[in-house]
Every structure is written in C-alpha cells, then in structure tokens.
Amino acid sequence: MRKLLALPLPDDFARETLRQALRRISDVDDTHPVLRDRLEALEGSKGLPSWSSRSALELLGAGSAKWIAHFDKQWCKDNATDWKQHHAYLGRVRARAETLAASAARNNAEEMVELGDLQRRLSVRADVRGHYERALQITPGHAGGLRGLVQCLPGTERSLRLDCLGQLFDQSMPNRWWACRVAVAELEKPVADGSLDEKALKRWRERLKQAGRPKAAPGRN
C-alpha cells in the first residue's frame, strides 16, 4: 500500500477526476467551498499538477514507522464511534436502496429519485441516469429528477444539461439559484471550437442575480 500511494495517478483518471471536481458547484449544504471556488480565490491553475516523485512519508525521517503506528492507533481511538455510526448509516442506505430497487417497477417519481440519490451516495460511479429519466417519465418536470439527471450527465451532453436546467429554473422556485449556478459554470467553459455562447451566458448570469442565494437547501419537489 505504501508503494502504491507514492505512485502518481494515471493521467486519464487524473484528468477525468479533476474535470468532475471542477464541475461541482458550491451548495448551501457544503461546509467548505468546492475546488472550483478555492482555485478562483487563490488565482490558481485548473490544470493537473506536477507529480512529486518522493513519498510524503520521507518527511518523517528515520522514525516514520514509529509515528505511523502512533497516529494510526490514535486515529482508531478517536474515530471508532464515528466510524461505527457511519458504517451503520451506510448499511441503512444500502438496505433502503435495495428495497427501492426491488420495487422499481412500482415506484413513483419521488422513489425513483431517492433510489438514484442513494445509489450515488454509495458509489460516485453508480449508473443512476436511468432512475432519474424514469422519474421524469412518471412525472414530467419533477425537480428531483431534473436535478439528479443534470448531475450525472456527461459533458458531451451539454445541450441536454442546459435544457434540464432551463426546465428546473422554470418549474422549481427552490431550485432556481442552483440551476443558475450550474448553468453559468457550464456556459463559462468553451465548446470544442473554443467559442462561448455569450447570449446564453448573459441570460443565465442575469437569472442568477435575480434568483439570489437561497437561505435553505432546496427540496426535491
């Protein structure tokens, strides 16, 4: 494990991970700014860093083994209760997701959105697009379905993402600020030919000003 942790990440994986991280928008539930906001505040580069060829463990010197064992033991002691609670929580999430998956053919839109949210909570790589699409088939314009679909669509489906955000803006007042933030971030990224849709970007920026930051997290309906 120590040798593996010292290795740089594969370039393709690192680029995709960075791209996904930069797509995230700060939400009212976040306790810290997302990577995009932190880099903008620091005026930092949004590209991949130059990987260090040395392990950070070398900074501990000859006594590294002793300190690793010490901190590992201390961490286990300090986090035992929280870890058990987290493990139990994941167990409840997994059980609820399995129940909803078993009844998928009978689920309503709200339950399909819940299923997608729970499976994504268990794994960021979970294929949940179909759950949100099914929710929108059952209840067109469902806010939770639109919001969930936006978050799992790939960058290559930009038009669909913007269409979903437009529907979310029009049909869900509690989600307007979030939709505007995501749309502005999407439109600030140039398309393949390097151009920007200035008209759409201006319109969404105006909407963002009008929406204002919400005082509470938006609901799912």
**Helix-strand-coil percent breakdown of the chain, rounded to 5?**
70, 0, 30
Residue 161 lies in a domain: yes
Residue 121 lies in a domain: yes
Global confidence as pTM: 0.67
Identify whether residues 209 and 179 lie together within a single domain: yes
Identify whether residues 83 and 148 lie together within a single domain: yes
Q: Which residues span the domain enclosing 206?
A: 155-214
pLDDT value for 212: 81
**Count of domains observed in the chain:** 2
Residues of the chain short of pLDDT 70, as ranges, are 1-6, 28-30, 49, 51-56, 214-221
Cα dihedral 201, 206, 209, 215 in deg (nearest 10): -70
Boundary-marking domain end, from 128, 152, 176: 152
Q: State the Cα–Cα distance between residues 119 and 133, nearest whole angstrom.
A: 15
Domain containing residue 78: CATH number: 1.25.40
Residue 35 lies in a domain: no
Identify whether residues 146 and 173 lie together within a single domain: no
Boundary-marking domain end, from 109, 131, 152: 152
Q: State the Cα–Cα distance between residues 197 and 186, nearest whole angstrom.
A: 10
Q: What is the pLDDT of residues 16-25, one digit of tens each?
A: 888 888 888 7
Which helix or strand (DSSP H or E) is residue 207 part of? helix 198-211
- 220: tokens are 């799912």
Boundary-marking domain end, from 152, 173, 200: 152
Residue 19 lies in a domain: no
Identify whether residues 131 and 168 lie together within a single domain: no
Identify whether residues 130 and 161 lie together within a single domain: no
Residue 6 lies in a domain: no
Answer whether 22's CB lies under 8 Å from 35's CB: yes
In the chain, the largest separation of any two C-alpha atoms, in whole Å, equals: 63
Identify whether residues 82 and 131 lie together within a single domain: yes
Q: What is the pLDDT of residues 152-193, one digit of tens each?
A: 999 889 999 999 999 999 999 999 999 999 999 999 988 777
